[in-house]
Amino acid sequence: MLIKRKTADVQRGRLQAAIAGLSSGVMDRRAFLRRSGLVAGGVAAVGALQIGSVRKAEAAGLGPATGTKVVKNICTHCSVGCTVKAEVVNGVWVGQEPAWESPINRGSHCAKGAAVRELVHGDRRIKYPMKLVDGQWQRISWDVAINEIGDKMMQIRAKSGADSVYMLGSAKFSNEGAYLFRKFAAFWGTNNVDHQARICHSTTVAGVANTWGYGAMTNSYNDIRNSKTILFMGSNAAEAHPVSMQHILVGKEQNRANVIVFDPRLTRTAAHATDYIRIRSGTDIPVIWGMMWHIFKNGWEDKAFLAARVHGMDDVRKEVEKYDPKTVEDITGVPEAQLKRAAETFAKVKPATFIWCMGVTQHSVGTANVRAICNLLLATGNVGGMGNGANIFRGHCNVQGATDFGLDIANLPCYYGLVEGAWRHWARVWDVPYDYFVTRFDEVPAKGGRPARTRKANMETSGHTSTRWFDAANLPTEQVDQMDNLKAMFVMGHGGNTIPRMPDAVKGLEKLELLVVADPHPTNFVSLGGRKNGTYILPIGTQFECAGSRTCSNRSVQWGEKVVEPIFEAASDYFVIYKLAQKLGFAEQMHKNFEMVQGKFGPEPSAESILREINRGGWSTGYTGQSPERLKLHMEHQDKFDLVTLRGAQGSPVENDFYGLPWPCWGTPDLKHPGTHILYNTSLEAKNGGGTFRPRFGLTYERTLADGRKVSETLLAENGSYSLNSDIKDGYPEFTMGVLKKLGWDADLTPKELETITWIGGNNIDAVNWANDLSGGIQRVALKHGCVPYGNGKARANAWNLPDPVPTHREPIYSPRVDLVAKWPARPDERTLRIPNLHTSVQKAAVEKGIAKSFPIVLTSGRLVEYEGGGEETRSNKWLAELQQDMFVEINPADAAARGIKDGAFVWVSGPENNSKARVKALVTERVGKGVAFMPFHFGGFYQGQDQRGNYPKGTDPIVLGESVNVVTTYGYDPVTAMHEGKVTLCQIAAA
């Protein structure tokens, strides 16, 4: 046998750095230990440090040799926020190295993250702008594209109004891109602007924000290392957020923590549970209330926490009484003993955290589901501390940031809403007269028995949701509460196959006069339906071809550098939005605060200057302290942050900061607020990352008692609950100039701050508050006195302004348990968000037609680790596509046997609406229970058995195509956010 000898003077290839002390490629034990960052004899420490793949420590200290540039960016797939370390030679991304220094991923990736380099080499990317002419794709120039699109938009605007153009943005945008797109919609004059959060965590944001103030994950992935009980519901983190499992599994191991998984499927996550509980899809509320029933009955609730920090839990207690173990087992299928054990564990083995995802949110009762979970957390006192909290794992790399910056039908950036004050605030930040925006909006005529709306009223009315864009195109005009139907879609970075009722979407697409798909890869919007004209494709660079910040699920903001210039003729988001604004005539106004830099095709706003404008306006969410400089410093010193607390090491340039300055990061950057690792955490000082529940629902609640008497209940915190070292040792409302004056703290304001406050307040200076004071003075003074700018209130167990203030079980629209529908019906029909929402009609019709008999299998959907979202990007990546080459349906062996279906054989899955059907492969597995089927949602390019590969422009078709699950999914929309019911419907399966 040969023994290969490595020589010392080897030619270095990619990394030309000769490694000091490495005389030979051969690793002896000592060299190995040294390279592993361990001193000899330190083996014992290795285990404790949980270093997976041990390696040398020196490399980090070695600068790259000539020619190789190392660039850090953030993975563009899920919301975990893994740092991607790219080695670039001559403008080509040649290698990807583990970013050991990132406290979030510590070098790790999932299949997608480890394959991102392919994205900027992808030969299936869109190469140049194109338009569809009589069914043929024609290459056009950027100028022609922008001109024609702009002209058509103006034409539609003149005829049908600004609201007829739908602006569908993306959770893939950087924060700056998202903000710019929202600003663009404001200048265009519509609130019909949305993005993937609609179908992801819109119900979470609504439910959580309506409970304790902010619609975001309360803790962090890293913090789960502190948990003693980890409960998953409707979350398959192992496939959707793989790197988060690093923290979770280590937490599980080190604390010997309980891992409870509620899911209709035995997922890859459930495989690591200590307690797996199978539930029926769409019965989350009875499961939670069933747990609460045991908690209240046994007195396991956290009484002190409830008294000090929660309002209205007795209302919940009353509802929960209906959910005795027998009732709950009947509805959910969970035996009493299992649920009781889970309840006891969650209440007693603390800190306990609740992790949820789309399994909870994608329901017609999504907001209520979320509210029920919040109540469980509140009742057990599991919010606002290390190792507990609502750990909402968001989906896309910047879905949190895009939500924060108002790619939303009901918000301006940073959750200011659409009220006049919000518009005036942003008009001030943008330095554009408020009245200008009023003129941009449509006047809505009276129709369908509804009164007319002025421009101002329309400007303050929530837009259409992305889940039902096609209804806005298809429904009779009088049912659509805006000037006219939808006539155009401007889609940037959003798939067309992730929303149910695709047969209706196909009809909607045919109605559109203009469809613009701006994306690195042609999405399903391109291939779906039979459009012949009026479709434009614009090539956009990925976020690796663009600099900017992105906010991961835990609210940490990370800066990504541009790895390479956009490939082919792709352009950056910033450029496209700027060019279109220019064409539409408002570019100068819109970009007046930005520094314009030379991009690939011409001037475009720099990401840094956009972020600075955000910093100037994002007071309500604490997006003011994250200056580009601070963010870049964090990326440079990632290794200085603690793995568990995320706190910057003493003596380092990032001392005391939390990694990525998770929002809220109060005050101006100069204030050096560290960001907030854990929301509502009273054990820290406000200026050091502490917090309280946000009193945003008034100061008191007027309750009418049974005997008709009215009592007033406080909504401010009580019983000595306040953040550490607060000058006010009680609950307090949000800070305004008036409050400062009352406290005598206005004297702490600097003259300059006062000047700004006076400018904003005009003749009502007392009304200027912490969220619209552009000087940051009010926030600074509040923090100085140890107070949280937004106040110190109670969380709401009863959210009286929501449709179901105290959640109650409602059977899914398409329920397999027809017998339960009468007792637990869907909500009555209503109009939400500009169109009718026919919960009851559809549910009743399904029962009457006996749908549950002819479609006896419950269909649920979810993610695969290899793909993301609509999947065009990942299905075009050869390294990923090879791993999942066929769309499939998971079916239980019993159901398969009854239908003569073999593993791997083709089947037809048919849905109860529109005679829809999808031809997919069967995956016969016990992951799903009897009577349940599961389909992933990343596929597209096949439609009801038809191959649509020919619809893609030549050479841009994804490698793998497949039927979309949403061909067979059905009606059902949350009353608050119009979230679709993607996680439960009915289907039938037959061998093909």
Partner 1 sequence: MARMKFLCDADRCIECNACVTACKNENEVPWGINRRRVVTINDGKPGERSVSMACMHCTDAPCAAVCPVDCFYTTADAVVLHSKDLCIGCGYCFYACPFGAPQYPKVGNFGSRGKMDKCTFCAGGPEADLSPVEFQKYGSNRLAEGKLPLCAEMCSTKSLLAGDGEIIAQIYKERVVKRGYGSGAWGWQTAYKDNIAI
Partner 2 sequence: MRFGAHIRLLVTGLLLTFAVAFAVPVSAQQVNPTADAVRERQFLDALKGNPQAELQGRISIPDQKAATLERPAGRDWRAFHQGTMLRIAAIAVLGTLLALTAFYLIRGRVMNEAGPAGTTITRFNAFERFVHWLTAGCFIILTLSGLNVTFGKLVLLPLVGPQAFTNLSIVAKWAHNFLAWPFMLGVALMFVIWIKDNIPTLADLRWFAAGGGIIGKGHPEARRFNAGQKIVFWSVVLGGAALSVSGFYLLFPFYAGGVLNLQFWNVVHGIVSVLMIALMLGHIYIGSIGMEGAFDAMGSGEVDLNWAKAHHSLWVEEEMQKARAGSDNRLQPAE
- Which positions from 108 through 167 interact with partner 1, judged by CB under 8 A? 108-115, 117-118
Beta strands in 38-191 (DSSP E): 68-74, 83-89, 92-97, 130-133, 136-139, 165-168
Angle subtended at Cα 917 by Cα 912 and Cα 919, rounded to the nearest 5 degrees: 145
Please select the residue that binds partner 2; options are 45, 65, 337, 747, rule is CB under 8 A: 337
Q: Strand, coil or helix: what is 567?
A: coil
- Contact between 88 and partner 1 per CB under 8 A: no
Please select the residue that binds partner 1; options are 7, 90, 704, 915, rule is CB under 8 A: 7
Please select the residue that binds partner 2; options are 882, 898, 955, 990, rule is CB under 8 A: 882
Q: Which is nearer to partner 1, 192 or 269 (CB)?
A: 269
HSE at residue 974, side-chain half, CA atoms within 13 A, is 36
Q: Which is nearer to partner 2, 259 or 360 (CB)?
A: 259
Q: Decide the pairing of beta strands 514-519 and 488-492.
A: parallel
Choose the one of partner 2, partner 1, none that binds residue 337, judging by a C-beta under 5 to 8 angstroms depending on kind. partner 2
- Contact between 33 and partner 1 per CB under 8 A: yes
Please select the residue that binds partner 1; options are 143, 151, 253, 431, rule is CB under 8 A: 253
Stretch that binds partner 2, among 118-126, 354-362, 690-698, 882-890 (CB under 8 A): 882-890
Stretch that binds partner 1, among 5-13, 320-328, 767-775, 779-787 (CB under 8 A): 5-13
Count the residues in the chain.
992
Closest CA to 579 of 607, 562, 599, 608: 599
Q: Which is nearer to partner 1, 838 or 928 (CB)?
A: 928
- Contact between 243 and partner 1 per CB under 8 A: yes
Q: Which amino acid is at 143?
A: D
Please select the residue that binds partner 2; options are 272, 507, 600, 672, rule is CB under 8 A: 272
- Contact between 571 and partner 2 per CB under 8 A: no
Q: Which residues in the 203-242 window bind partner 1 by CB under 8 A?
A: 238-239, 242
Stretch that binds partner 1, among 29-37, 279-287, 363-371, 683-691 (CB under 8 A): 29-37
Q: Which residues in the 99-128 window bind partner 2 by CB under 8 A?
A: none
403 near 215, Cβ under 8 Å?
yes
Q: Which residues in the 39-58 window bind partner 1 by CB under 8 A?
A: 43-44, 46-48, 50-56, 58
465 burial (CB, 10 Å; 0-12 / 13-18 / 19+) is buried
Q: Which is nearer to partner 1, 23 or 533 (CB)?
A: 23
Taking the complex as a whole, how short is the minimal distance between the CB of residue 388 and partner 1, in angstroms? 21
The pair of three-digit structure tokens given for residue 616, joined into one six-digit string:
């100037």
Taking the complex as a whole, how short is the minimal distance between the CB of residue 225 and partner 2, in angstroms? 18
Q: Which is nearer to partner 1, 40 or 158 (CB)?
A: 40
Stretch that binds partner 2, among 11-19, 336-344, 688-696, 701-709 (CB under 8 A): 336-344
Taking the complex as a whole, how short is the minimal distance between the CB of residue 338 and partner 2, in angstroms? 7
HSE at residue 516, side-chain half, CA atoms within 13 A, is 28
Please select the residue that binds partner 1; options are 431, 926, 946, 990, rule is CB under 8 A: 926
Please select the residue that binds partner 2; options are 25, 42, 67, 335, rule is CB under 8 A: 335
Q: Strand, coil or helix: what is 664?
A: coil
Please select the residue that binds partner 2; options are 341, 456, 844, 899, rule is CB under 8 A: 341
Number of other residues whose CB lies within 10 A of the CB of residue 559:
27
- Contact between 595 and partner 2 per CB under 8 A: no
**How big is the site for partner 1, counted in residues (CB under 8 A)?**
82
Q: Which is nearer to partner 2, 272 or 632 (CB)?
A: 272
Q: Which residues in the 907-926 window bind partner 2 by CB under 8 A?
A: 925
Angle subtended at Cα 40 by Cα 39 and Cα 41, rounded to the nearest 5 degrees: 110
Q: Rounded to whole angstroms, what are the CA distances from 32 to 35, 56, 660, 703, 920?
A: 5, 7, 33, 69, 49
Choose the one of partner 1, partner 2, none that binds residue 918, judging by a C-beta under 5 to 8 angstroms depending on kind. none
307, containing H or E segment:
helix 303-309
Number of other residues whose CB lies within 10 A of the CB of residue 435:
10
Taking the complex as a whole, how short is the minimal distance between the CB of residue 267 and partner 2, in angstroms? 10
Please select the residue that binds partner 2; options are 850, 885, 946, 990, rule is CB under 8 A: 885
Number of other residues whose CB lies within 10 A of the CB of residue 37:
18
> Distance between CA atoms of 342 and 574, rounded to whole angstroms?
49
Q: Which residues in the 210-269 window bind partner 2 by CB under 8 A?
A: 259, 266
Q: Which is nearer to partner 2, 322 or 341 (CB)?
A: 341
Choose the one of partner 2, partner 1, none that binds residue 111, judging by a C-beta under 5 to 8 angstroms depending on kind. partner 1
Q: Strand, coil or helix: what is 741?
A: helix
Please select the residue that binds partner 2; options are 275, 330, 655, 685, rule is CB under 8 A: 275
Number of other residues whose CB lies within 10 A of the CB of residue 746:
20
- Contact between 526 and partner 2 per CB under 8 A: no
The pair of three-digit structure tokens given for residue 524, joined into one six-digit string:
């399903």
In sequence order, what are the residues at sequence separation of 6 or more whose Cβ sits closer than 8 angstroms to the Cβ of residue 296?
317, 320, 379
- Contact between 15 and partner 1 per CB under 8 A: yes
Longest dimension (CA), the chain: 95
> Distance between CA atoms of 615 and 610, rounded to whole angstroms?
9
The pair of three-digit structure tokens given for residue 561, joined into one six-digit string:
């550098």
> Distance between CA atoms of 505 and 509, rounded to whole angstroms?
6
Beta strands in 450-526 (DSSP E): 488-492, 514-519
- From residue 833 to residue 872, the character string flagging contacts with partner 1 as x (rule: CB under 8 A) and all else as - is --------------------------------xx------
Taking the complex as a whole, how short is the minimal distance between the CB of residue 342 and partner 1, in angstroms? 16
Q: Tokens 């949350």 belong to which residue?
A: 974
Please select the residue that binds partner 2; options are 88, 149, 270, 852, rule is CB under 8 A: 270
Report the b/e string of 830-868 with b at 16+ CB within 10 A. eebbbbbbbbbebbbebbeeebbeebebbbbbbbbbbbb
- Contact between 935 and partner 2 per CB under 8 A: no
Number of other residues whose CB lies within 10 A of the CB of residue 757:
24
Q: Taking the mean position of all CA atoms in its chain, how far away is CA 226?
A: 24
* DSSP structure class, residue 686: G
Choose the one of partner 2, partner 1, none that binds residue 259, judging by a C-beta under 5 to 8 angstroms depending on kind. partner 2
Choose the one of partner 2, partner 1, none that binds residue 318, judging by a C-beta under 5 to 8 angstroms depending on kind. none
237, containing H or E segment:
helix 237-240
- Contact between 276 and partner 1 per CB under 8 A: yes
Q: Which residues in the 879-908 window bind partner 1 by CB under 8 A?
A: 879-880, 882-883
The pair of three-digit structure tokens given for residue 125, joined into one six-digit string:
């990317």
- From residue 254 to residue 273, the character string flagging contacts with partner 1 as x (rule: CB under 8 A) and all else as - is x-x---------x-xx-xx-
Put residue 585 in one of left, alpha, beta given phi > 0 → left and psi -120 to 50 → alpha. Answer: left
Q: Decide the pairing of beta strands 888-891 and 857-862.
A: unpaired
* Per-position DSSP letters for 791-849, written without gaps between them: -BBPEESS-TTSSSSS------SS-S-HHHHTTSPPPPPEEETTEEE-HHHHHHHHHHT
Q: Which is nearer to partner 2, 489 or 923 (CB)?
A: 923
Choose the one of partner 1, partner 2, none that binds residue 57, judging by a C-beta under 5 to 8 angstroms depending on kind. none
Taking the complex as a whole, how short is the minimal distance between the CB of residue 77 and partner 1, in angstroms? 11
Please select the residue that binds partner 2; options are 187, 221, 276, 578, rule is CB under 8 A: 276
Choose the one of partner 1, partner 2, none that binds residue 699, judging by a C-beta under 5 to 8 angstroms depending on kind. none
Choose the one of partner 1, partner 2, none that binds residue 338, judging by a C-beta under 5 to 8 angstroms depending on kind. partner 2
Q: Which is nearer to partner 2, 2 or 40 (CB)?
A: 2
Q: Strand, coil or helix: what is 961?
A: coil
Residues in contact with partner 2 by CB under 8 A are: 259, 266, 270-278, 335, 337-338, 341, 866, 882-885, 925
